[in-house]
Amino acid sequence: METNYQLVHQLFDFIECSPTSSHTTQAACALLGQAGFTQLSETEDWGALTPGGKYYVTRSMSSVIAFKAPKADFHGFSIVAPHGDSPCFQVKGNPEMKADGHYTKLNTEIYGGTDPRLWLDRPLSVAGRVILRTEEGVKTCLVDLKQDLMLIPSLAPHMGGGARQEGRMDPQRETLPLLGKQESDLLEMVAKAVGAQKEDILSWDLYLYNRARGVVFGADREFLAAPKLDDLECAFAAIRAFIDSDNAENCTVCAVFDNEETGSSTRQGANSTFLSDVLTRICRGYGHPESYAATAIQRGFLLSADNAHAAHPNYPEKTDPTSRCYLNGGPVIKFGAGYATDGITAGVFKHICQKAGVPVQVYYNHSNIRGGGTLGKISGSHVSIPTVDIGVAQLAMHSPFETGGAADVEHMVNAMSAFYQAQIVWKSNGECVVR
């Protein structure tokens, strides 16, 4: 199969529109709106939902759940759940710090599990949301300064910088970005960008992000590199597959959560009631009692979609000796203590991929290395649905510029499309029929 470079560049466009989780939600909602989805609100009664209707709802402007049911008596839920946040730096309160009477640097803290050394000497910008005072109360505005605004300058090796970069950096001293001269004022710039006065800014959720656009590289253009592949690659694939796929029996759901990189324990994270609330309200909207949700959940299936580690060409010893995943090898099924996958759910997903002609890989952690986790098990504590953890194989995870396989974008879209179209029927004897 030839690589679909058009799809790759659509991914790059999506990433460029999504410097923060709030912008990811905005980009997702724009795609859903273009596809004819109707927005609902959690603060209002949804009333009767229309069979065949298409809907979405957001929480805290940084998570979104979309759904469509072919009929009122749908069989179960087919859900794909990626996340929209990525490791970065978050801007603190009173952010400007004057230095030596000549410079202004920015007071920040690390968000998520990134290596701060990888952020040195890169052009960075600021995006997020600001909360403004109004005559009636407050309002929220998204902001993206969209310019090469700052960088975190490294220390020269002959001044001791090399030794520092080999060890742990002090995030309160060594990772603060250079904003400008003594008079530089970030909040003044943010206020101007949203058409407000600085004194009207009450609070903010602002983050640094890498300005670089994604690139395709390799001897045969077989690789790609971009910011935030973890997890915007899965988010893009899920939204694309969800919009373009239909299921004759199941209610299909796409849930893009915030705050996975910091534990998911927010009201808009996978450890909240957001998904269970929406599933219950869907059942009610189609005329069913709340108990119907429990039945539809157990008839359903969830793909917890978060990128996976590929075998590293320079560090092969870091990878399990028999379960090794590679770029362009297709979706990865993840096993381990941090994942919700079991033999049955892995088998179902493998079967779906094989029927669709999509290559699939299996990942286990090296036994001497503590692996990560993702939102599958966290979400499962609220919605106990059969779940498999999957992802796209990549290198340099949690770097501000990550590496993946160019063909894997289409592999994941095709796998998720096949999943959304599949009819999965669980039987009491442990068998599962996949049509």
Structure confidence by residue, pLDDT tens digits, 395-429: 999 999 999 999 999 999 999 999 999 999 998 88
Provide the residue ranges of all domains of the chain, joining segments of one domain with +: 5-86+227-434, 88-210
Q: Which pTM was predicted?
A: 0.96
Cα 366 to Cα 81: distance, rounded to the nearest angstrom = 26
Q: Indicate the average pLDDT of the chain.
A: 94
pLDDT value for 377: 87
Site of tokens 């999506």: 14
Query: Which among 384, 425, 431, 391 is positioned nearest to 408, based on CA atoms?
Result: 391
Instruction: Please answer whether residues 130 and 206 qualify as being in contact, where contact means their C-beta atoms are separated by less than 8 angstroms.
Output: yes
Res. 159 pLDDT band, cuts 50 70 90:
confident
The Cα 60–Cα 40 span in angstroms is 13
CATH number of 5-86+227-434: 3.40.630.10
Distance of CA 243 to the CA centre of its chain: 17
Higher pLDDT, 90 or 380: 90
* 79-136 tens-digit pLDDT: 999 999 999 999 999 999 999 989 999 999 999 999 999 999 999 999 999 999 999 9
Q: Measured between alpha carbons, how far is 144 from 209 in angstroms, rounded to an integer?
A: 10
C-alpha dist (Å) from residue 410 to 5, 25, 149, 214, 329: 9, 22, 34, 16, 11
The pLDDT confidence band at residue 374, using thresholds 50, 70 and 90, is confident
Query: pLDDT value at position 197?
Result: 96
Residue recorded with tokens 């030794």: 163
pLDDT value for 163: 47
Q: What is the pLDDT of residue 165?
A: 55
Whether the Cβ atoms of residue 238 and residue 427 lie closer than 8 Å to each other: no
pLDDT at 171: 87
Residue whose C-alpha is closest to residue 254's, from 35, 14, 57? 57
pLDDT at 2: 84
Q: Rounded distance, CA 208 to CA 114, Å?
A: 13
> Distances from the Cα of 65 to the Cαs of 44, 173, 174, 254, 418, in angstroms?
16, 39, 39, 6, 20
88-210 is classed CATH 2.70.98.60: no
pLDDT higher than 80, residue 161: no
The rounded distance, in Å, linking the Cα atoms of 295 and 300 is 9
**What is the pLDDT, as a whole number, of residue 167?**
60
| Each residue's pLDDT tens digit, 163-187 | 455 567 888 999 999 999 999 999 9
pLDDT at 411: 98
**Going by DSSP bridges, is the β-strand pair 54-59/38-40 parallel, antiparallel, or unpaired?**
parallel
| pLDDT above 80 (res 344) | yes
Q: Angle at which helices 21-34 and 229-244 pack, to 10 degrees?
A: 20
- Evaluate if residue 375 carries a pLDDT over 70: yes
